[in-house]
Amino acid sequence: GQSFEDAIPYFKTKEYDKALPIVEKLADHGHLEAQVQLSAMYALGLGVTRDINKSMQLLQLAAEKGHSQAQFIFATHLLNGTNIGIDKNRGFNMLLLSAKNKNPNAQFVLCVELSIKENSHFDLVESYAWCAVSAQREHKNQNLAKNILGPAENIIRTRLGDEVFERAKNLGEERIRNY
């Protein structure tokens, strides 16, 4: 049988029609990376007729089976209502799963989103903890996360007190160990 790696050269040369049968077969057999790739192919119309519903079905399937990048992408669709109905609670929970599955993008988004007072999941302690995690991970927003920690500490200490900040700091250290 063929592996996902057999399709990669076809993606690199944009021969999507040759990658398609490999990826479809693997996706049908539960290969998560193939499901995510096939979802992208349907979303963008690469080697297939563009089909957003099929794309979202495949993305959701991979997300529900624990693929952290699929969880992150699916969460953003749920939170923003793009290509599927908006569902903030489900989107937030999917984002949290992705972060706990060590997705640095999800960890950074939680760092920011939990600090916004208008969001229903507003929580400065949780925000600080996810910023601490995000500041430790190598990714494109690592320096932003590092730059958020100082002002976040000041806000928590000023508005909520030193005890609450110590709780946030301890939660951050625990998250760094676990995620």
pLDDT averaged over the chain? 95
Specify the pLDDT at position 29: 95
Specify the pLDDT at position 118: 85
Amino acid at position 24, single letter: E
| pLDDT band of 117, cuts 50, 70, 90 | confident
Specify the pLDDT at position 9: 95
For the segment 109-119, the average pLDDT, to the nearest whole number, is 90
| pLDDT band of 66, cuts 50, 70, 90 | very high
Q: pLDDT of 79-98, one tens digit each? A: 988 878 889 899 999 999 99
Determine if the pTM surpasses 0.85.
yes
Placement of tokens 């998560």 in the chain: 32
Specify the pLDDT at position 1: 79
pLDDT at 21 over 90: yes
CA neighbor of 164 nearest in space, from 154, 175, 156? 156
| pLDDT band of 51, cuts 50, 70, 90 | very high
